[in-house]
Structure 1
Amino acid sequence: MSSPDATGVLAEIRDKLALLTRLEAEHGFGVVIEDLAALEPLPDLPGVAEAYSLLGRVEGDNFRFRPPEEIASPAAWSAYTVDPDDPMGSPLPIGHEVWSIPKGLRGEIPGGAAIFLDIEDLEVYWMEPGAYMFQYEHPDDDVEYTVLAPDLATFFNDWVLGPGYPDLVATVLGPGVRDRRLRKGRHAGEYADNWRRLLITAGLSS
């Protein structure tokens, strides 16, 4: 993650997070944006620790993104083992949907269905939990999955902090969740998803 293009993406993430943090403080949408101590780079996963060193944790009504424990340090990564029976090669969960979890339980449950990072080619992809289980039972059959981005930084920049966010919601949770609007209160008619409202206020998404 040392190319000029990669460095530029990381700079964009840094600037976007600064803007979103300021707007959240001003408007109080109720999202979570937390800093994280810089993670040590991992040669096997170029760009992954660098991206999470900027992002830390972000959470809105639909998703929670935070570093998986496996990349907390080089020692943690060295201890990670690939399950030989995992047909997808033991990808890393880089975030989870939380829409399916009651808000009162989100502090106790890490998340619902995961969004994955392929540890070989570093692509970020979404796969229905049912399809994952089917692949376990039928490893020789093809299953559907959606590649979201070629690397983690691009995923965060475009799909979490940028114009691709509504499509991320539609891909993982369905167009009905993406298009839900508030029916009551001061913000009636606006999107129900507080992270999307923050991005719209920042001019980063529609």
Structure 2
Amino acid sequence: MVITPELRRLVAAARTVARSDREWSMMNAVPAASANPDVPGAPADYVDLLRVVNGGIFGSVVLFGAELVDRMQYSADSVDGAPVVLGRESWFCFGKVGEDPLFLDRRDGSVWGFPDRGITWWQSGVFERLAADLGEFLVDQVFGPGYPALAGVREDDQWQRLLAECRARSPRG
């Protein structure tokens, strides 16, 4: 299972800290869990995540909630002339960074995306593995030190400040 106690702690801390500051609560959303997520055809790791947080906005990263994710699967459809051929049978779109979609590989659960190269994502020939699984991606790149590189933001980004406040309030420091 990719939903670790550390990930649960990070989500809970971000939820608490986001509510404590007007700017953070306006620019981010850390929703409650979905008790019984109904997302037919979704990978088990994504459904497990919904039991912790039902989507959300984490700075430049958006995770689609149960009510939206099915409508966002068009991102996995093949596009004529695109250098990278996807397909819903192999890829599950669970979110985005800026305007660039994030995918779970249905075969092994790894996370993939199109790094921002200044062109529309489907025109890019650069499609990279971002993490071995959804839990690693979230801990390291959404709630961790990999966020600035993933999102292409400066260190004073508001989500970075929120994460710093989470660390400051943590008993672990």
TM-score (norm 1): 0.60
Once the two structures are overlaid, the 10-residue window that deviates more, 35-44 or 9-18, is 35-44
Structure 2 segments unaligned to the other structure (5+ residues): 169-173
Match of 1:94 in 2: 94
1:159 matched to 2:123: no
The answer on whether the counterparts of 1:52 and 1:66 sit within 8 Å (CA) in structure 2 is no
Structure 1 segments unaligned to the other structure (5+ residues): 72-79, 99-111, 135-142, 171-177, 181-190
- 1:123 aligned to 89, 94, 110, which one? 110
Letter of the aligned partner of 2:161 in structure 1?
A: R
The C-alpha deviation readout for 1:74-110, integer Å capped at 9, x for no partner, is xxxxxx9x85778223322211234xxxxxxxxxxxx
The answer on whether the counterparts of 2:39 and 2:70 sit within 8 Å (CA) in structure 1 is no
Aligned 1:59-70 pairs, distance under 5 A = 59-67=57-65, 69-70=69-70
Match of 2:9 in 1: 15
1:195 matched to 2:170: no
The C-alpha deviation readout for 1:102-124, integer Å capped at 9, x for no partner, is xxxxxxxxxx2212222222211
Matched residues in 2 for 1:19 and 1:44: separation?
Answer: 27
Matched residues in 2 for 1:87 and 1:169: separation?
Answer: 24
- Bigger Rg, structure 1 or 2: 1
TM-score (norm 2): 0.69
Deviation of residue 60 (structure 1)? Answer: 4.1
Flag as ranges the 4+ runs of structure 1 deviating above 6 A.
41-44
The answer on whether the counterparts of 1:41 and 1:48 sit within 8 Å (CA) in structure 2 is no
Q: 1:41 to 1:62 in 2, by over 3 A?
A: closer
The answer on whether the counterparts of 1:41 and 1:50 sit within 8 Å (CA) in structure 2 is no
Q: 1:60 to 1:43 in 2, by over 3 A?
A: closer
Match of 2:122 in 1: 132
Matched residues in 1 for 2:96 and 2:42: separation?
Answer: 23
Same amino acid, percent of matched pairs? 21
